[in-house]
């Protein structure tokens, strides 16, 4: 089954921070998990390069928008391998192949009668690239997201007849209750739709940095229309000489932050309907990483640089922390101090020590070979159905929950070592069989958690499974008892050394 998952495309007017890394890591965890299930996966990420904020930032720096976009897109592109995000393509919206496809699709929307000329006047946030209405306008006509003043804008431009999709969108939310996840966000999208849809401005007259409107080249498309379409256009040119659209469209899952819910849950499905394209299967809306209770964002100046964290603690620790500390879907604070605590108590002590102890005991007591012994039945029962449970949670993008279930087993294995005290059994020749069973069960439990942790901690899982002499990472390998015994294990450097 093809599985197509996307991240939002990132604005190139700022450097990447942990908030951006977050969405990409989450999407990558899901993609890796789906690959473990043998699905044909395509993970798309990239950069959103048109629009006013980029044009303005370029002007301030005295470079062309394309030069600024080239420079900053490269920072996002280079970030992905550092995060161990294995994207299948990186789209840039200034790519002429994207531009051409946007024009084709938008021409179709125009030909289908969904566009008209009009005058727009309203409060506009240049950083959101969005006109604001009602409760989207903060105190003193400011943007509640960026806490910066809104500007009054008036212009003649093209409009998209969003209002004519009122009924189809209401039906969408009635019939497909899992179109938007988590449920709370579906309610939000639904009440937005039920509140009555207004037509939206589709183009900008006073801007050159964008995709020219094919039927009126004096204007460019409003950046959000150009940006949303990346999810479709990329499939047309991601592989030279191949069109992947038939294989991967409609997308299985768009992962986005809650600030861009309206665009993805309201405008995007309407635009697809207007273009005669199929709707994605699911949107998952995550919350914000906060610092001191405020959204981490460049404009508020409270950002963590993922590169600094990676340099000190490594990529896996960063991936783990992001998905563990803040329940995926909700907002939550992150801080360097909490990060260090989790690194030490959970990664270094609970997982790292468990792994080194297990491997050291196998080396010391059984010459580095996993005994072919009976498995501990009580421990086996605690692992029963774990792979399926994790898969079900990840199907709903409940990444923190899934990680928690795996981690419960890490803790269970630590208790198991303490309860069985293999070092005592080793002193008693009559307990040889019991020691065999204990070590085999321990190795098997560790192998299972390593397989399930692979999407979250790819490098750690690779090292650990290699040391356990059982490199298989298919989801089927996560069954307790799937390891045959008899594997040759090797010593392990600390997985999470002291920093």
Q: Which residues bind ligand MSP (CB under 6 A)?
A: 8-11, 19-20, 22-23, 48, 227-228, 230, 256-257, 259-260, 288-289, 295-297
Least Å from the CB of residue 303 to ligand MSP? 8
The residue (of 69 and 228) whose beta carbon lies closer to ligand MSP is: 228
CB 489 within 8 A of CB 388: no
Distance of CA 446 to the CA centre of its chain: 26
Cβ proximity to ligand MSP: between 257 and 422 the closer is 257
Is 128 one of the annotated active-site residues of the chain? Answer: yes
Instruction: Give the residue with the Cβ less far from ligand MSP, 104 or 216.
Output: 104
Q: Would you list the DSSP string of 394-438?
A: HHTT-HHHHHHHHHHHHHHHHHHHHHH-HHHHTT-GGGHHHHHHH
Compute the least distance from the CB of residue 120 to ligand MSP, in Å: 21
Q: How far is the CB of 289 from ligand MSP (least distance, A)?
A: 4
Exactly one of 33, 50, 114, 125 is catalytic; name it: 125
Q: How far is the CB of 483 from ligand MSP (least distance, A)?
A: 38
To ligand MSP, the closest distance from the beta carbon of 59 in angstroms equals 19
Nearer to ligand MSP, 145 or 461 (CB): 145
| Long-range contacts at 181-189 (CB < 8 A, ≥ 24 apart) | 181/282, 181/283, 181/284, 181/285, 181/329, 181/396, 181/397, 182/284, 182/285, 182/329, 182/396, 185/258, 185/261, 185/265, 185/283, 185/285, 185/329, 188/261, 188/265, 189/261, 189/262, 189/265, 189/266
Going by C-alpha positions, the residue among 279, 257, 256 that lies closest to residue 269 is 279
Answer yes or no: 448 catalytic: no
Residue with the CB atom nearest ligand MSP in the bound state = 257
Taking the complex as a whole, the smallest distance from the CB of residue 295 to ligand MSP amounts, in Å, to: 5
Between CA 26 and CA 31 the distance in angstroms is: 9
Closest among 406, 422, 424 to 480, alpha carbons compared: 406
143 tagged catalytic: yes
Work out how close the CB of 20 gets to ligand MSP at its nearest, in angstroms, rounded to a whole number: 5
Q: CA 272 to CA 84: how far, in whole Å?
A: 32
What Rg do the C-alpha atoms of the chain give, in angstroms? 26
What distance lies between CA 477 and its chain's CA centroid?
A: 24
Do 221 and 210 touch, CB atoms closer than 8 A? yes
Quick one: 20 or 357, whose CB is closer to ligand MSP?
A: 20
SS3 140: coil
Listing DSSP states for 88-119 in one string gives SEEEETTSHHHHHHHHHHHHHHHHTT-EEEEE
User: Which of these is catalytic: 50, 114, 143, 282?
Assistant: 143
- For residues 250 and 231, give the distance between their C-alpha atoms in angstroms, rounded to a whole number: 9
Q: Which of 128, 254, 262, 264 is catalytic?
A: 128
For every residue of 298-335, DSSP letters joined together read GGGT----HHHHHHHH-HHHHHHHHHHHS-BTB-EE--
Burial classification of residue 331, based on how many CB atoms lie within 10 Å of its CB (0-12 exposed, 13-18 middle, 19 or more buried)? middle
The DSSP code for 248 is H
For the question of residue 146 being annotated catalytic, the response is yes
Total residues found in the chain within this entry: 499
From 50, 114, 146, 254, the catalytic residue: 146
Which CB sits closer to ligand MSP, 100 or 325?
325
* 295 has catalytic annotation: yes
How many beta carbons lie within 10 A of that of residue 499, not counting itself? 11
Judged by DSSP in three states, 378 sits in helix
Instruction: State the greatest distance between any 2 C-alpha atoms of the chain, in Å, as a whole number.
Output: 89
Pairing outcome for strands 203-204 and 180-181: unpaired
17 is a catalytic site residue: yes
Give me the least distance between CB of 265 and ligand MSP, in Å please. 12
The least CB distance from residue 238 to ligand MSP, in Å, is: 16
Active site residues: 17, 20, 125, 128, 143, 146, 295, 298
């Amino acid at each position: 089954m093809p599985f197509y998952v996307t991240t939002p495309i990132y604005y190139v007017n700022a450097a990447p921070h942990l908030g951006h890394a977050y969405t990409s890591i989450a999407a990558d965890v899901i993609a890796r998990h789906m690959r473990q299930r043998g699905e044909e996966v395509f993970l798309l990420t990239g950069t959103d390069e048109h629009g006013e904020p980029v044009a303005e930032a370029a002007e301030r720096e005295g470079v062309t928008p394309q030069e600024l976009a080239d420079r900053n897109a490269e920072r996002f592109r280079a970030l992905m391998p550092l995060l161990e995000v294995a994207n299948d393509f990186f789209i840039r919206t200034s790519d002429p192949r994207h531009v051409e496809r946007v024009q084709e699709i938008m021409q179709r929307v125009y030909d289908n009668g969904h566009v008209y000329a009009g005058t727009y006047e309203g409060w506009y946030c240049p950083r959101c690239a969005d006109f604001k209405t009602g409760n989207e306008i903060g105190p003193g006509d400011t943007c509640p997201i960026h806490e910066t003043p809104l500007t009054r804008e008036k212009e003649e431009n093209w409009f998209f007849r969003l209002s004519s999709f009122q009924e189809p969108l209401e039906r969408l939310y009635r019939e497909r209750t899992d179109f938007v996840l988590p449920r709370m966000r579906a309610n939000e999208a639904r009440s937005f739709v039920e509140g009555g849809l207004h037509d939206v401005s589709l183009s900008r007259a006073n801007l050159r940095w964008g995709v020219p409107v094919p039927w009126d080249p004096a204007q460019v498309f409003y950046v959000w229309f150009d940006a949303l379409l990346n999810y479709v256009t990329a499939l047309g040119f991601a592989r030279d000489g191949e069109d992947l659209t038939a294989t991967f469209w409609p997308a299985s899952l768009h992962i986005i932050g809650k600030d861009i819910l309206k665009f993805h849950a309201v405008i995007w499905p309407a635009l697809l309907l207007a273009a005669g394209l199929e709707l994605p299967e699911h949107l998952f809306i995550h919350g914000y990483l906060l610092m001191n209770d405020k959204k981490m964002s460049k404009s508020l100046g409270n950002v963590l640089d993922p590169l600094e964290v990676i340099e000190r603690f490594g990529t896996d620790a960063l991936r783990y922390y992001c998905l563990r500390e803040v329940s995926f879907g909700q907002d939550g604070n992150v801080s360097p101090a909490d990060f260090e605590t989790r690194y030490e108590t959970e990664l270094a002590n609970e997982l790292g020590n468990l792994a080194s102890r297990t491997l050291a005991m196998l080396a010391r007591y059984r010459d580095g070979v996993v005994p072919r012994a009976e498995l501990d039945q009580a421990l086996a029962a605690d692992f029963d159905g774990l792979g399926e449970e994790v898969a079900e949670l990840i199907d709903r993008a409940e990444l923190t929950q899934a990680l928690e279930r795996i981690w419960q087993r890490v803790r269970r294995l630590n208790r198991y070592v303490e309860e069985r005290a293999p070092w005592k059994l080793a002193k008693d020749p009559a307990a040889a069989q019991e020691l065999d069973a204990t070590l085999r069960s321990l190795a098997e439990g560790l192998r299972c958690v390593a397989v399930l942790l692979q999407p979250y901690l790819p490098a750690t899982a690779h090292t650990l499974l290699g040391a356990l002499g059982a490199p298989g990472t298919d989801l089927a390998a996560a069954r307790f008892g799937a390891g045959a015994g008899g594997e040759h294990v090797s010593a392990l450097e600390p997985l999470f050394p002291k920093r």
